[in-house]
């Protein structure tokens, strides 16, 4: 913000070896991301996110992969009620369990994130988890750590010098351990869905993706594969849970 007072709303900074263009202020951001949205749809390769997703998934993709996964994800989630009245029933059901925790002082961040994550589970897996499920609760405790790491000083250091940081011990190695735990959880859920898959009865996003994988298994240009499924579900969990819970927590604080 201080630099913009001298250099204007658009400036270039070098973050180590990385050339970075910074937009400051509503007008500059709107001109780029709204008025010229098609020119700014690409995503830069963020080393931390690339390693966490093995380069797959919706969140860090570009071009054909991004278009295929985005179109499928939006259509499928809407079919299961995202933004519609059908989803309201899931939210109401999960919210009943939220009420138990608000009769006494509580940490809104964790309670809200667990509630929101269960709504996402309904969309992705067609089921919700018990708030007493230790594995699910552990997943909820590690996801915020993963999200916050990417914007932390150490996370920024990793993104600038990944080839060095990969060979050094430290908290970033713990974070990648957490990412592996989250991916393993998702892989187990996907495997259970594969074993009980019924093409005539779709339980959630995962079932639809598995069916699409089978339909396009002979198409070499298809982006519907196991790796993209795992990483996209991880994207939905981490991004969806954290952003929504932070927004609701800020309103609680207000």
Considering 71-75, 93-97, 127-131, the range whose residues carry the highest mean pLDDT is 71-75
> What is the Cα–Cα distance from 158 to 117, expressed in whole angstroms?
28
Q: Which residues pair with 14 in a beta bridge?
A: 19
- Number of separate helices (H) and strands (E) present in the chain: 12, 2
How far apart CA 185 and CA 244 sit, in angstroms, is: 21
Measured on CA atoms in the order 122, 124, 126, 132, is the torsion positive or negative? negative
- Do 165 and 158 meet the contact criterion of CB atoms below 8 Å apart? yes
What share of the chain in percent tops pLDDT 70?
93
Rounded-to-10 torsion of CA 194, 196, 197, 200:
180
What single-letter DSSP state applies at residue 36? T
Residues 6+ apart with CB under 8 A from 51: 162, 176
For the stretch 38-65, pLDDT in tens is 888 788 888 999 999 999 999 888 888 9
Give this prediction's pTM.
0.83
pLDDT (tens digit per residue) in 76-109: 988 877 655 567 777 777 777 777 767 677 777 7
Give residue limits of the domains in the chain.
1-41, 45-253
- Structure token digits, residue 90: 């899931």
CATH code matching the domain that covers 45-253, chosen among 1.10.3720.10, 1.10.630.10, 1.10.1040.10, 3.40.50.300: 1.10.630.10
Token pair of 74, please?
Answer: 């939006």
């Amino acid at each position: 913000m201080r630099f913009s007072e001298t250099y204007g709303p658009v400036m270039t900074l070098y973050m180590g070896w990385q050339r970075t263009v910074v937009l400051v202020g509503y007008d500059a951001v709107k001109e780029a991301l709204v008025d010229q949205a098609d020119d700014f749809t690409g995503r830069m390769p963020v080393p931390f996110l690339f390693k966490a997703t093995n380069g797959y998934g919706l969140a860090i993709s570009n071009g054909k992969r991004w278009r295929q996964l985005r179109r499928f994800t939006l259509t499928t989630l809407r079919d299961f009620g995202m933004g519609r009245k059908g989803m309201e029933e899931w939210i109401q059901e999960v919210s009943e369990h939220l009420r138990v925790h608000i009769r006494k002082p509580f940490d809104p961040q964790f309670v809200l994130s667990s509630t929101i994550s269960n709504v996402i589970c309904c969309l992705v897996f067609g089921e919700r988890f018990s708030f007493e499920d230790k594995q699910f609760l552990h997943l909820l405790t590690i996801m915020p750590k993963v999200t916050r790491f990417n914007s932390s000083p150490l996370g920024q250091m990793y993104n600038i010098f990944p080839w060095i940081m990969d060979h050094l011990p430290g908290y970033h190695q713990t974070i990648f351990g957490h990412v592996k735990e989250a991916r393993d959880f998702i892989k187990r859920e996907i495997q259970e869905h594969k074993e009980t898959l019924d093409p005539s009865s779709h339980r959630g996003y995962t079932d639809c993706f598995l069916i699409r994988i089978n339909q396009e298994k002979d198409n070499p240009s298809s982006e519907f594969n196991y790796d993209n499924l795992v990483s996209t579900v991880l994207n939905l969990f981490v991004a969806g849970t954290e952003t929504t819970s932070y927004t609701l927590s800020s309103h609680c604080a207000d």
